Amino acid sequence: MKKIQISPSILSADFSQLGNEIKRLEESGADMIHVDVMDGHFVPNLTIGPPVIKALKKNTSMIFDVHLMISPVHKYIEAYSNAGADIITIHPEATDDLKTSILKIKELNKKVGISLNPETQTDVILNYLDQIDLVLIMSVNPGFGGQKFMPEVLTKVIELKKIQQDKNLNFDIEIDGGINFDNAKKALEAGANILVSGTTIFKSNNGDIKKNIELLKSK
């Protein structure tokens, strides 16, 4: 059984104190840092680019779990790799050739993630599951933090977990979107082993990050 990991989304952090926020996450038991990159085109929001990731990476040894919600994504993969991304997750809809983009990430010695939006079905990636390290299931429509969890996506988590076991594959199953203390258990029971959470980690219990991470892990 895979270890349960928490990947806090810095989309919900205090952007004026990002360096300190990452230090707090590191001290509070976070397993990695989830970085949401949005271009205002693939999704209706703009966030951060390679210079910010590079600056943040200088002061931490934590794994940067970078989710690229940008299109076309292929030409930006190397820039995010050079900036310090350890895991690079892309959307099938954002590249003209998913296989080529997967190979590109691998050539850069980074872990490969593929993200599925709520309406995207698993058949899009079935032929690539033996080539990737992570599947990110979106449980909200990407673009903004603080949205309500969509429980119907758990059927995809269950399906992927069964394939993983039947074919003896080793990819992680990550889930992102509206994860809180109430639904974390359902996501883990369905087969996810990495929980992305922003609002719950940074805002619950008066911002007690350590307590919130521990509560999510204990579900």
Q: Read off the tokens for 146.
A: 């603080």
Q: Which of 211, 209, 203, 144 is nearest to 177 (CA)?
A: 144
pLDDT at 147 (0 to 100) = 82
pLDDT at 142 (0 to 100) = 85
pTM (two decimals): 0.96
The single-letter DSSP state of residue 40 is S
Distance CA(119)–CA(25), nearest Å, equals 31
Judge contact between 69 and 89, C-beta under 8 A: no
Distance CA(124)–CA(173), nearest Å, equals 16
pLDDT at 16 (0 to 100) = 96
Question: What count of other Cβ atoms lies within 10 Å of the Cβ of residue 169?
Answer: 13
Provide the CB-side half-sphere exposure for 188 (13 A, CA): 20
- pLDDT per 10-residue tile (average), the chain, 219 residues: 94 95 97 96 92 96 97 97 98 97 98 98 97 98 84 98 97 97 97 97 96 94
Q: Read off the tokens for 41.
A: 């085109």
What DSSP string runs through 154-219? HHHHHHHHHHHHHTT---EEEEESS--TTTHHHHHHHT--EEEESHHHHHGGGG-HHHHHHHHHT-
Q: Which residues are catalytic?
A: 36, 176
Residue 9: strand pairing partners:
34
The single-letter DSSP state of residue 191 is T
Distance CA(136)–CA(90), nearest Å, equals 9
pLDDT at 219 (0 to 100) = 83
Sign of CA dihedral 70, 105, 103, 139: negative
- What are the structural domains of the chain? 5-217 (3.20.20.70)
Question: What count of other Cβ atoms lies within 10 Å of the Cβ of residue 121?
Answer: 12
Judge contact between 132 and 112, C-beta under 8 A: yes
Distance CA(109)–CA(164), nearest Å, equals 23
Judge contact between 119 and 125, C-beta under 8 A: no
